[in-house]
Amino acid sequence: MPSAFEIDPLGWHALARRAKSPNFDCRPADQEIELIVIHAISLPPGQFGGSGVEQLFANTIVASDHPYYAGIAGLRVSAHFFIRRNGQLLQFVSCLDRAWHAGVSVWKGRERCNDFSIGIELEGDDFCAFDDRQYEVLNPLIKSLCEVYPVTEVVGHNDISPGRKTDPGPCFDWDRLKNA
């Protein structure tokens, strides 16, 4: 019997709810997945449980729904995975494709981290502790990704975009990652 956290040959996670994003493209030829990037997002900022993140990644966010949305409605961004505070796992982009999560980024001298990474967004911000259920999903997700792809490191968005990004933020407990 396959593991509940299995990644299928097309790069989709068995337990994730698919919410496909149009914001992806092909990875460069022969590019291995070597990095996992942990992010944090909440839309509107500081509010959890709404549909803003899904709408952002689907290009359906309505600028008039919240004052903050006016400034982000035209963005074309995505991530491979999103873990809600209740532990629900969503997948927007196949792991085999390049999600648009890292932006301008560098890791160990290599630019364009989207080319060789998988992006995992956690519903959160710089000011609230992450929920236990998020770590309970994040750890086996990372483990399953490391079993399928030659991942060598797990980093924060702040590590690959210092000075530009702060997520996953000071409330993310790196000690709770069992597979990093």
Q: Which of 73, 101, 71, 79 is nearest to 21 (CA)?
A: 79
Q: What is the pTM of this model?
A: 0.96
Task: Flag whether 107 is in a domain.
Answer: yes
CA distance 26 to 99: 9
* Number of domains observed in the structure of the chain: 1
Annotated catalytic residue, options 121, 123, 136, 153: 121
Verify whether residue 136 is a known catalytic residue. no
The whole-number pLDDT of residue 178 equals 75
The mean of the pLDDT values for the chain is 95
In b/e form, how buried is each residue of 16-33, taking b as 16+ CB within 10 angstroms? beeeebebbeebeeeeeb
Q: For the segment 133-168, what is each residue's pLDDT rounded down to a tens digit?
A: 999 999 999 999 999 999 999 999 999 999 999 999
Task: Flag whether 3 is in a domain.
Answer: no
Task: Flag whether 9 is in a domain.
Answer: no
**Residue-number span of the structural domain to which 113 is assigned:** 21-173
Task: Flag whether 8 is in a domain.
Answer: no
Task: Flag whether 110 is in a domain.
Answer: yes
* CATH number of the structural domain spanning residue 109: 3.40.80.10
